[in-house]
């Protein structure tokens, strides 16, 4: 899609992606888990160091853990989709192994609540609704509201049309086009029942308990640039975040 052709994926990323997929498909389910570094190196025709680099990423995502002298094991998480969000960059890279499908196109709308949360002085917002798939299964429905000044950058983008399937995130599309970069995302996480729209898009029962995540992205001037509301299927998704202590 609309992009640089000449991008070759690094070997360690390709490997970690494959392993991630195999793990979530349950290939290495029980007992002593994954192949050793040497085995993987040989199987994939890469050096042991490259395998180590791939494992390093999986460890930091919390997908596997390693024990010297024993091996590498899948962290048991019921096979749910695990995503590690520790920074805004992580949110923008959500597209790495998911695809998004537009359910309702980016269009002008009146929405008092969204407008007020975006701190606008009108009721006009631009709204797009999409769902996101992981390995063919829809696991989240997201509604994004944008101020008119922000929306105009992408209102004609093909990725925002109905039925469009792409590997982007809205914030990832938007961010390079903004005058002032996004520096902060305030999140609210709670539990909410699935609305009928959500239930339809995610193929679950209306009223089903969902993980609801609201995000307000703001730029360096502390102006909100995007408000998103996501309903995650808890059976398919766990939200992970790592908090660290300042360097003191």
Partner DNA sequence: CGTTATTTGTGCGTATGTATT
Partner DNA sequence: AAATACATACGCACAAATAAC
- For DNA, the binding residues (CB under 7 A) are 8, 10-13, 34, 36-38, 45-50, 52-53, 55, 66-72
In 3D, which of 59, 60, 40, 62 has the Cα closest to residue 49? Answer: 40
Nearer to DNA, 46 or 167 (CB): 46
User: Least separation, in Å, of the C-beta of 162 and its own copies?
Assistant: 30
Binding flag, residue 68, its own copies (CB under 8 A)? no
Q: List, in sequence order, every residue forming a beta bridge with 141; answer none if it has no partner.
A: 131, 231
- H/E stretch holding 44: helix 37-44
Binding flag, residue 142, its own copies (CB under 8 A)? no
User: Least separation, in Å, of the C-beta of 50 and DNA?
Assistant: 3
Q: Which residues contact 79 (CB under 8 A, 6 or more apart)?
A: 24, 26
User: Least separation, in Å, of the C-beta of 113 and DNA?
Assistant: 18
Binding flag, residue 93, its own copies (CB under 8 A)? no
Residue 102 binding result from DNA, its own copies, none, given CB thresholds of 5 to 8 Å by partner type: none
User: Least separation, in Å, of the C-beta of 120 and DNA?
Assistant: 11
Beta carbons of 110 and 145 less than 8 angstroms apart: no
User: Least separation, in Å, of the C-beta of 188 and its own copies?
Assistant: 5
Binding flag, residue 27, its own copies (CB under 8 A)? no
One residue of 11, 48, 71, 86 binding its own copies per CB under 8 A: 86
Which phi and psi (to 5°) does residue 50 adopt?
-70, -40
What's the sign of the alpha-carbon dihedral 75, 80, 84, 90? Answer: positive
Whole-angstrom Cα distance, residue 9 to residue 244?
30
* 57 secondary structure, DSSP code: H
Residue 163 binding result from DNA, its own copies, none, given CB thresholds of 5 to 8 Å by partner type: none
Which phi and psi (to 5°) does residue 158 adopt?
-60, -25
Residue 165 binding result from DNA, its own copies, none, given CB thresholds of 5 to 8 Å by partner type: none
Nearer to its own copies, 29 or 65 (CB): 65
For the record, the structure tokens of 208 come out as 């089903």
Q: Which of the residues 170 through 209 are near its own copies (CB under 8 A)? A: 181-193, 209
In 3D, which of 54, 59, 62, 58 has the Cα closest to residue 11? Answer: 54
Binding interface with its own copies (CB under 8 A) = 20, 23-24, 60-63, 65, 77-91, 119, 181-193, 209-211, 234, 237-248
């Amino acid at each position: 899609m609309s992009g640089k052709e000449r991008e070759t994926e690094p070997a360690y990323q390709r490997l970690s992606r494959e392993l991630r997929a195999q793990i979530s498909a349950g290939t290495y389910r029980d007992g002593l888990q994954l192949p050793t570094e040497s085995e993987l190196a040989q199987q994939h025709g890469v050096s042991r160091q490259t395998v180590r680099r791939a494992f390093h990423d999986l460890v930091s995502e919390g997908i596997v853990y390693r024990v010297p002298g024993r091996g590498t094991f899948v962290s048991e998480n019921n096979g749910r989709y695990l995503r590690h969000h520790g920074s805004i960059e992580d949110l923008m890279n959500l597209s790495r192994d998911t695809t998004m499908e537009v359910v309702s196109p980016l269009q002008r709308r009146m929405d008092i609540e969204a407008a007020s949360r975006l701190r606008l002085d009108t009721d006009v917002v631009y709204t797009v609704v999409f769902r996101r798939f992981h390995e063919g299964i829809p696991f989240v429905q997201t509604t994004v509201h944008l101020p008119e000044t922000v929306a105009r950058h992408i209102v004609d983008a093909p990725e925002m049309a109905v039925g469009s399937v792409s590997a982007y995130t809205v914030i990832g599309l938007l961010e390079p086009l903004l005058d002032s970069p996004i520096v902060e995302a305030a999140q609210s996480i709670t539990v909410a029942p699935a609305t009928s729209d959500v239930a339809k898009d995610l193929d679950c029962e209306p009223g089903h308990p969902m993980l609801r995540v609201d995000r307000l992205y703001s730029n360096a001037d502390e102006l909100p640039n995007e408000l998103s509301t996501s309903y995650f299927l808890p059976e398919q998704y766990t939200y992970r975040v790592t908090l660290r202590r300042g360097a003191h």
